[in-house]
Structure 1
Amino acid sequence: MPPPRGHSGLPKGWSENIIYLPAPSYSKKLSADKIKALVCLKSDLPPGAQIFTPSSPSLNVKITPISDSAHPAFGQNGLFANQHLLPDAFVLPYIGYVHDQADTDATSDYDLSLDRETGIGVDATKMGNEARFINDFRGVSAAPNAEFRDIYVDAGNGKVEKLVGVFVLSAGKSGKRAKGIARGQEILVSYGKGFWTERQSAEG
């Protein structure tokens, strides 16, 4: 059986108990209509739509153990820049198990919304790529240096997949983020206030 497209081994530091995915894994419970909302022909995209072809494993990042005892993820892992990443640069896609409400893990801390209209999410709890190791900025930095954006990725055979991508934040009007993310710097996003509200409710 040939390896999945774009797959060239596991990234250094990958967790053995997690399945590495170079491309999304779709739930068998997803209807054909919902899959059509995510996978379409390139010719169906609006003019000028950008299509990404990421490498797998990603050359932009490295999984690194967190050794700082003051870090909220101390003893776990974080995702760090493997090279200088400029403002607005595409870093890598967030890949995992694509599902809807019928197949949701309510205890997951790795589930992102992929298509709000159809209630589709992507969960990297048990399977995914390096993006699952991105930490929230709270307790680490004054602000995030990256964010999630919707993207289209080349799926081959004239088709594209709708995914969530990780991007370096723009420089901003003041230009204070003009340096982007330096090599060796941790990539940090905002999980959103909703994530922490739900987490506190669960812990309570």
Structure 2
Amino acid sequence: MLRFAQELKETLVRSGNYKVVLTRTKDEFVSLPRRVSIARAAGADIFLSLHADALAEGRATGTAVYTLSEDASDAASAALAAQQDRTDIISGIDLSAQDDQIAGVLIDLARVQTSSHTDLLAGYLVEGLQDTLGKLHKRPHLKAGFSVLKAPDIPSILIELGFMSSQEDLSNLMDAGWRQKAARGILTALDRWALEDAALGGRLLK
């Protein structure tokens, strides 16, 4: 996955439209909150988390795109509002002087605005990956409460490229040509999203 992240970065940078910051550049663990903090410190317009999972039981195959579920959104807002260090929750806003209720309202407002950008991006990612890879997961857009999706101010997507417990998926992940197709699909999706998001008064092409 680190190799794919590096290849994706090269694909995006070569297009001339993107600046890419990786949360890690070598095979080391970076805590989940730290990953989001790195994105915020870089002034990121989007946050992409790249995964390849494995299941001990059951069978799952194919690429899928995850966004934050509504239930997880409520719980995440409450948890963030309860944190003592509130200088790193919403970019440009210091919530340290606000009580939990006011901080929670501000976090919710930021999340509502961000969620529309995120859903738009998820749709384009599914289309872009489908165009280049063909068959995806049986439900290509899923919702979950992953920690890396909980930033209220940055459109955040988790891309599950495949499952290492599936021999077919593992072969794809190890195939440089397949990874290149995946990177092209993501690039196409970002290009389409940036144009529409800008037309809607969004984050990127202002």
TM-score, scaled to structure 1: 0.27
The structure where strand makes up a greater share of residues is 1
Bigger relative CO (Cα 8 Å, ≥ 6 apart): 2
The structure where helix makes up a greater share of residues is 2
